[in-house]
C-alpha cells in the first residue's frame, strides 16, 4: 500500500515541479522532457527485464538441478538454526533457506547478476507457503529488507569506476563503504525484528552475527595489509570460483543422484523466462515515476532546499553535492551511478565529494527497484511495512556514509 502512495506522489510531484519550472523559471519545454522521460523509462524497464531473461533462465535452471538433487535441502539444514530465528514463519529445512543463503552470499561478493535470480527463486519458494498470495509475508519482508540493505564485502564496481576516473588509490573508500553497508544491514534486521517481535538476543543469532562481524573484521585487516590491485584481483577470483563451483557442484550432485540434469535445467529455465516477463509491468511502473520526478527538476530543487536548511542550522554543507546520489540511490541504481560518476568528474575522484559519493553509492541498494522486481515476480500487491523498513535501512546507511566520509576524508 505504501508503495502505491509513493508511486502516486512521485507522479504528482513531477507535475507540480514541472509547473513551477515553467511558470517561475520559463522552462517551457519541461513538460516535453517529463513526457519523454516516461517513454525512455518504460523502454529502460523493458530492456532491463529482457536483459534479466538470460541470467534468470540460467540460474533458475541451475537451482532446479540443485533442488532435484537435494543440494538445496542440505544447504537449508545447515543455515536452519539461524534462519528459523529470523524467519520464524518458515519451518526448519524450508527450501527457501538455501536460496536466501546463496542470494546473500552473492550480494556480499558483489555478484548482482547471480544474486537477483537467486533472490527471485527464494521469493517463489516463500510464496508457496504464503497463506495470502497477494500480501507480503513476514519472511518476505525480512528477506527483502536484508537484500535492500545491500551488504557488500568487496565493492569492486565502485573501485573500478574510481580507477577509471583517475583516483590515486581507488580502494581508499573500501573501509567506509564496508562499515556503512554493515550499519545499514544491521538497521534493517533490527527494524524488521522489532516490527515482527523477533527476539534477537539468543545464542544462535548473537553467535552468527558475531561471526559475521569477525569475518568483516578479517576482510578489513586484509584490505589494510594488501594493495588494492591484489584485493580486487582476489575478489574477482573468489566470485568466479564461487559461481563455477556452485554450477559444478549442482550438476555433479544431480549426476550422482541419477536425475535427468538436462531436463531439470530446462524446467528451471522456463520458470526463469516466465519470471522475467512477469517483472516487466512492475519495473516499468516504478522507473516511469522516478524518471518523471527527476526530469521535472524535483530532485534538484529538493537538494537545494536541503542545503539551505542545513546552512541555516549552521552545519557544514560540503556534503550537499553528494545528496543527489544519496536521494537517487533508493530509487534508481543506474541513476545513482550516473550521478556518482558525474560528481567525481565535476569535483575529482579524490576530492571529498568524489570519495563521499562513492561511499554513499556502496552504502545500500536500490530499494524501490528491488521491491518492484522481487514482489512483482510473485504478484504481491500489499507490501505492508517493507518499504518503510527498507527506507529506514537506507537512511541509516546513507547517514553512516556521510559521517564516515567526514571521519575518513575531511
Q: Are 72 and 99 in contact (CB under 8 A)?
A: yes
CA 297 to centroid of chain Cα atoms: 25
Q: Are 138 and 314 in contact (CB under 8 A)?
A: no
DSSP 154: -
Q: Are 275 and 56 in contact (CB under 8 A)?
A: yes
Q: Residue 190's pLDDT is what?
A: 95
How far from 323 is each of 247, 330, 353, 358, 400, CA to CA, in Å? 41, 12, 10, 12, 13
Q: Residue 333's pLDDT is what?
A: 74
Q: Residue 235's pLDDT is what?
A: 62
Q: Residue 144's pLDDT is what?
A: 94
- Helix then strand then coil, in percent of the chain rounded to 5, is 80, 0, 20
Cell matching residue 374: 522481487
Question: How far apart (Å, rounded) are the C-alpha atoms in residues 75 and 69?
Answer: 12
Rg of the chain in Å (alpha carbons): 22
Q: Residue 162's pLDDT is what?
A: 86
Helices (H), 87-197: 96-108, 112-128, 138-149, 156-164, 174-196
Cell matching residue 403: 559521517
Cell matching residue 276: 522475467
Specify the pTM. Answer: 0.80
Q: Are 375 and 136 in contact (CB under 8 A)?
A: yes
Total length of the chain: 410
Question: How far apart (Å, rounded) are the C-alpha atoms in residues 389 and 196?
Answer: 11
Q: Residue 228's pLDDT is what?
A: 61
Q: Residue 342's pLDDT is what?
A: 80
- At what angle are helices 228-256 and 71-86 packed, to 10 degrees? 120
Task: Give pLDDT < 50 ranges for the chain.
Answer: none
Q: Say how many Å lie between the first and final Cα of the chain, rounded.
A: 41
Q: Cell 550422482, residue?
A: 256
Question: How far apart (Å, rounded) are the C-alpha atoms in residues 339 and 357?
Answer: 8
CB atoms within 10 A of CB 272: 25
Which residues on neighbouring strands pair with residue 382, listed in sequence order?
A: 135
187-245 pLDDT, tens digit per residue, is 999 999 999 999 998 899 999 889 888 877 877 777 677 776 676 577 667 667 777 88
Cell matching residue 301: 530543487
Q: Residue 161's pLDDT is what?
A: 79
For 382, the 3-state DSSP assignment is strand
Q: Are 142 and 195 in contact (CB under 8 A)?
A: no
Amino acid at each position: 500500500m505504501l508503495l502505491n502512495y509513493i508511486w502516486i506522489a512521485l507522479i504528482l510531484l513531477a507535475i507540480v515541479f514541472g509547473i513551477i519550472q515553467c511558470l517561475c523559471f520559463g522552462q517551457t519545454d519541461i513538460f516535453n522532457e517529463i513526457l519523454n522521460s516516461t517513454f525512455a523509462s518504460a523502454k529502460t524497464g523493458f530492456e532491463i527485464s529482457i536483459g534479466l531473461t538470460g541470467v534468470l533462465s540460467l540460474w533458475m535452471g541451475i537451482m532446479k538441478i540443485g533442488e532435484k538433487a537435494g543440494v538445496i535441502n542440505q544447504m537449508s539444514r545447515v543455515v536452519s538454526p539461524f534462519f528459523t530465528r529470523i524467519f520464524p514463519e518458515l519451518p526448519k529445512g524450508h527450501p527457501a533457506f538455501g536460496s536466501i543463503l546463496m542470494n546473500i552470499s552473492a550480494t556480499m561478493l558483489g555478484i548482482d547478476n547471480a544474486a537477483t535470480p537467486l533472490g527471485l527463486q527464494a521469493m517463489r519458494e516463500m510464496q508457496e507457503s504464503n497463506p495470502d498470495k497477494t500480501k507480503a509475508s513476514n519472511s518476505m519482508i525480512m528477506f527483502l529488507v536484508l537484500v535492500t540493505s545491500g551488504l557488500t564485502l568487496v565493492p569492486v564496481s565502485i573501485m573500478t569506476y574510481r580507477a577509471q576516473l583517475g583516483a590515486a588509490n581507488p580502494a581508499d573508500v573500501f573501509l567506509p563503504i564496508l562499515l556503512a553497508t554493515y550499519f545499514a544491514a544491521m538497521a534493517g534486521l533490527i527494524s524488521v525484528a522489532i516490527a515482527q517481535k523477533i527476539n534477537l538476543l539468543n545464542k544462535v543469532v548473537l553467535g552468527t552475527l558475531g561471526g559475521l562481524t569477525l569475518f568483516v573484521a578479517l576482510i578489513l585487516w586484509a584490505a589494510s595489509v594488501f594493495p588494492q590491485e591484489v584485493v580486487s584481483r582476489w575478489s574477482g577470483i573468489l566470485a568466479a570460483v564461487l559461481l563455477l563451483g556452485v554450477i559444478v557442484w549442482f550438476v555433479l550432485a544431480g549426476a550422482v543422484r541419477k536425475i535427468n540434469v538436462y531436463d531439470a535445467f530446462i524446467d528451471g529455465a522456463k520458470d526463469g523466462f516466465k519470471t522475467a516477463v512477469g517483472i516487466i509491468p512492475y519495473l516499468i511502473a516504478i522507473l516511469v515515476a522516478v524518471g518523471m520526478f527527476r526530469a521535472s527538476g524535483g530532485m534538484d530543487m529538493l537538494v537545494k532546499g536541503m542545503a539551505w536548511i542545513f546552512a541555516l542550522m549552521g552545519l557544514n554543507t560540503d556534503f550537499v553535492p553528494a545528496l543527489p546520489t544519496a536521494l537517487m540511490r533508493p530509487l534508481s541504481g543506474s541513476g545513482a551511478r550516473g550521478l556518482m560518476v558525474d560528481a567525481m568528474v565535476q569535483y575529482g575522484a579524490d576530492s571529498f565529494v568524489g570519495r563521499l559519493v562513492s561511499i554513499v553509492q556502496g552504502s545500500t541498494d536500490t530499494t524501490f527497484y528491488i521491491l518492484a522486481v522481487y514482489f512483482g515476480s510473485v504478484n504481491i500487491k500489499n507490501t505492508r511495512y517493507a518499504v518503510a523498513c527498507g527506507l529506514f535501512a537506507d537512511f541509516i546507511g546513507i547517514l553512516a556514509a556521510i559521517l564516515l566520509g567526514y571521519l575518513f576524508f575531511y
